[in-house]
Amino acid sequence: MINYKYITNFERNNKYYNELIYLLKDFWDTLSKIDKFKILQVTDEFEVDYYQFIKMLMEYNNGVLVLALDNNNPIGFALGYIWNKPQNLVSLQKDTIRAELYDLYVKEDYRNKGIGTTLIRWFENYYKDFGCSHFVIAVLSSNKNAHKLYKTAGYKDNVIEMMKEIK
- Which pLDDT score is estimated for 92? 52
- Which pLDDT score is estimated for 66? 96
**Taking 90 as the threshold, does the pLDDT of residue 2 lie above it?**
yes
Q: Which domains does the chain have, with CATH numbers?
A: 2-152 (3.40.630.30)
- Which pLDDT score is estimated for 87? 54
Q: Alpha-carbon distance 16 to 71, whole Å? A: 13
- Ordered DSSP codes for 48-114: HHHHHHHHHHHHHS--EEEEEEETTEEEEEEEEEEE---TT---SSPP--EEEEEEEEE-GGGTTSS
pTM for the complete prediction?
A: 0.87
Containing H/E element for 19?
helix 17-34
